[in-house]
């Protein structure tokens, strides 16, 4: 980093916008794990949620505000006093807090969603900012769908909210409509035509509907933005958001071009990416930039030859820069504690003694089933937690029999009250039969939407990760589990879904 570069703040909205992606909802303990990982990563702002959206969202934002130190903790609110007061209350224990208010400004939103005239929009935006300033000195305002808003009107809104006390003004490309050159011109227009623009930090928030979220965000930086709103792995609504790891590494790798820097510790990118993938059940594509399995893989002969001579021939950044090491170390049942802890550290994870003891015990048990353990196996052990989604049911025993076209499964489940129940069911295959037997025990019959299975490592004895998506009472639920037995993995993932449903039902009933 050179002394004449300016800083671009990294505003992470994985817990708010990222969680809005279908199937990516997180429990409160999961949100806390992600928030703490984001703090270790070095992001400047964590948008922890939308407190007025639900009791669960309020409590999650409150928990992050209480327990996570370092970054500014931010909550989203509409330009409405009730929303803002709930957000302020959720954030009251944060060491550093920000209230983020928003209101749509584009013609299509004014006419079809809000039914408000331009002067009403400005009054409402100003009022929202002023109310937020009653509770918090750090207030951000977003004119939703800014990229499709008339430039002159957008400039009027921005000037008015800055006068009202907004310290950050975010310019969202809400539907991923803009293109890089056009978006840069929008920022230049605001800097030229908003008289008080120097009193606020300009931010950018891009969606990836046309695959240009990262490019648009970077062009906004070129044109003066000094905050980027983004998510880990680019998760988010529809096609997702600007990918944090991609914009951070673009600015780091091309620092001489952008002449900016961030506070992010890039060597934490790989483990945080894997954590979010594990918690949300959203696998990382092999060819994903920066953190995908193929990001630093070279197969073509001419590439391999160049790499052996000098890595910079085909690598513009080192794997170590993002926390990925090229170790061929394979562990087995004779490996000891020191070898395991060293490898876990090389993968970018630091564990407390109690967590390491749990991982070591499970490592030994897994090593008895597998001849060799690879990085994917270790990551699965590290990322798994004992009690992120506690529920009334646990799997005691599973037995399946199958032949072509039919199968039977017998499951034994333990209830939280100490009782055990055994049921048998038939199905098209062993997984189908196991799911039906679990439904008979629990009395819950969700509609299966999607079932995914992938290998976490190499070899015939590789662990399989099962991810189950269901619909129950018009709500979507996701469960995931890992095992060397894919039927057991699928059954445990389905049982996690059942537990999530029961927890949700109890919360709704107030029990």
Q: What percent of the chain has pLDDT over 90?
A: 62
Q: What is the pLDDT of residue 378?
A: 80
Helical segments of 347-460, H only: 353-369, 375-383, 430-442
Question: In the numeric block, which tokens belong to residue 72?
Answer: 């500014």
Q: In what order do the strands lie in the sheet with 393-403?
A: 393-403, 406-415, 420-427
Residue with the bigger pLDDT between 97 and 376: it is 97
Rounded to 10°, the helix 269-280/28-41 angle is 170
What average pLDDT does the segment 462-490 reach? 85
What average pLDDT does the segment 65-85 reach? 98
CA 417 to chain centre: 34
Rounded Cα distance between 127 and 214, Å, is 32
Rounded Cα distance between 361 and 347, Å, is 19
Question: In the numeric block, which tokens belong to residue 379?
Answer: 């990551």
Q: Collapsing DSSP states into helix, strand and coil, what is residue 39?
A: helix
Pairing of strands 201-206, 168-173: parallel
Question: In the numeric block, which tokens belong to residue 7?
Answer: 């800083």
pLDDT category at 458 given cuts 50, 70, 90 is low
- The answer for residues whose C-beta is within 8 angstroms of residue 375's C-beta and 6 or more apart is 327, 343, 347, 457
- Cβ contact 174:204 at 8 Å: no
Q: What is the pLDDT of residue 16?
A: 96
Question: In the numeric block, which tokens belong to residue 40?
Answer: 């270790």
pLDDT tens-digit readout, 175-230 = 999 999 999 999 999 999 999 999 999 999 999 999 999 999 999 999 999 999 99
pLDDT at 332 over 80: no
Rounded Cα distance between 499 and 63, Å, is 22
Question: In the numeric block, which tokens belong to residue 278?
Answer: 């594990």
What average pLDDT does the segment 223-246 reach? 97
Element (H, E) at 120: helix 118-135
Rounded Cα distance between 478 and 19, Å, is 13
One DSSP character per residue, 457-481 reads SSSTT--EEEEEEEEETTEEEEEEE
Q: What is the pLDDT of residue 311?
A: 57
Question: In the numeric block, which tokens belong to residue 64?
Answer: 């992050």
Residue with the bigger pLDDT between 380 and 39: it is 39
Nearest to 332 by CA among 378, 360, 371, 380: 371
pLDDT category at 496 given cuts 50, 70, 90 is confident
Q: What is the pLDDT of residue 166?
A: 98
pLDDT at 314 over 60: no
The owner of tokens 């957000």 is 87
Nearest to 89 by CA among 102, 79, 99, 78: 99
Q: What is the pLDDT of residue 299?
A: 41
Rounded Cα distance between 372 and 281, Å, is 25
Among 55-59, 375-379, 384-388, the range with the most confident prediction by mean pLDDT is: 55-59
CA 127 to chain centre: 32
Nearest to 44 by CA among 63, 24, 72, 4: 72
What's 241's DSSP letter?
Answer: B
CA 97 to chain centre: 20
pLDDT category at 403 given cuts 50, 70, 90 is confident
What radius of gyration do the chain's Cα atoms show?
25
pLDDT category at 298 given cuts 50, 70, 90 is very low
pLDDT at 2 over 50: no
Helical segments of 375-429, H only: 375-383
What average pLDDT does the segment 396-412 reach? 92
Nearest to 102 by CA among 112, 114, 92, 91: 114
pLDDT at 310 over 70: no
Q: Collapsing DSSP states into helix, strand and coil, what is residue 479?
A: strand
Helical segments of 178-263, H only: 180-193, 213-222, 244-253, 255-258
The structural domains of the chain, ordered by start, are 7-280 (3.20.20.70), 301-383 (no CATH), 393-509 (3.30.160.270)
Nearest to 61 by CA among 44, 79, 74: 74
Q: Where are the beta strands (DSSP E) in 106-145?
A: 139-144
CA 139 to chain centre: 24
Rounded to 10°, the helix 213-222/244-253 angle is 40
Residue 23 CB neighbour total at 10 angstroms: 15
Q: Collapsing DSSP states into helix, strand and coil, what is residue 504?
A: helix
Give me the residues paired with residue 245 across strands.
none
Q: What is the pLDDT of residue 360?
A: 87
pLDDT category at 27 given cuts 50, 70, 90 is confident
Among 306-315, 368-377, 490-499, the range with the most confident prediction by mean pLDDT is: 490-499
């Amino acid at each position: 980093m050179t002394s004449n570069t300016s800083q671009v703040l990294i505003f992470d909205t994985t817990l708010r916008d990222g969680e809005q992606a279908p199937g990516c909802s997180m429990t409160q303990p999961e949100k806390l794990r992600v928030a703490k990982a984001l703090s270790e990563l070095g992001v400047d702002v964590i948008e922890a949620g939308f407190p007025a959206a639900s009791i669960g969202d309020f409590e999650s934002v409150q928990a992050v505000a209480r327990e996570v130190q370092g970054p500014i903790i931010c909550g989203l609110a509409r330009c409405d006093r009730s929303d803002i007061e709930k957000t302020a209350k959720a954030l009251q224990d944060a060491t550093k807090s920000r209230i983020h208010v928003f209101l749509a400004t584009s013609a299509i939103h004014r006419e079809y969603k809000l039914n408000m005239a331009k002067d009403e929009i400005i009054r409402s935006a100003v009022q929202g900012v002023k109310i937020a300033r009653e509770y918090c000195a750090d207030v951000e305002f977003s004119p939703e769908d800014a990229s499709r808003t008339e430039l002159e009107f957008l400039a009027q809104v921005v000037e008015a909210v800055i006068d009202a006390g907004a310290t950050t003004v975010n310019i969202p490309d809400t539907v991923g409509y803009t293109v890089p050159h056009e978006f840069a011109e929008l920022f230049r227009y605001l800097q030229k035509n908003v008289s008080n623009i120097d009193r606020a930090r300009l931010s950018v928030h891009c969606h990836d509907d046309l695959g240009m979220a990262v490019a648009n965000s970077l062009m906004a930086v070129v044109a003066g933005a000094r905050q980027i709103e983004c998510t880990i792995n680019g998760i988010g609504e529809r096609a997702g958001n600007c990918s944090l790891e991609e914009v951070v590494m673009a600015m780091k790798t091309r620092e001489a071009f952008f002449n900016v820097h961030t506070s992010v510790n890039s060597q934490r990118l790989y483990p945080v990416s894997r954590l979010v993938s594990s918690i949300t059940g959203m696998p990382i594509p092999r060819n994903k930039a920066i953190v995908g399995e193929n990001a630093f893989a070279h197969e073509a002969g001419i590439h391999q030859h160049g790499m052996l001579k000098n890595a910079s021939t085909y690598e513009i950044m080192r794997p170590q820069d993002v926390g990925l090491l090229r170790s061929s170390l394979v562990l087995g049942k004779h490996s000891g504690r020191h070898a395991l802890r060293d490898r876990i550290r090389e993968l970018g994870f630091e564990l407390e003694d109690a967590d390491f003891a749990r991982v070591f015990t499970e490592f030994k048990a897994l090593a008895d089933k597998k001849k060799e353990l690879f990085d994917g196996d270790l990551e699965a052990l590290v990322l798994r937690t004992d009690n992120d989604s506690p529920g009334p049911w646990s799997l005691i025993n599973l037995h399946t029999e199958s032949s072509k076209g039919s199968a039977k499964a017998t499951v034994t489940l333990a209830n939280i009250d100490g009782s055990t129940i055994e049921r048998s069911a038939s199905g098209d295959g062993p997984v189908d039969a196991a799911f039906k037997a679990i439904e008979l025990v629990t009395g819950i019959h969700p509609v299966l939407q999607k079932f995914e299975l992938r290998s976490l490592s190499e070899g015939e004895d590789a662990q399989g990760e099962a991810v189950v998506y269901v619909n129950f009472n018009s709500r979507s639920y996701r469960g995931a589990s890992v095992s060397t037995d894919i039927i057991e993995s699928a059954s445990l993932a389905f049982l996690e879904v059942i537990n999530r449903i029961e927890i949700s039902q109890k919360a709704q009933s107030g029990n």
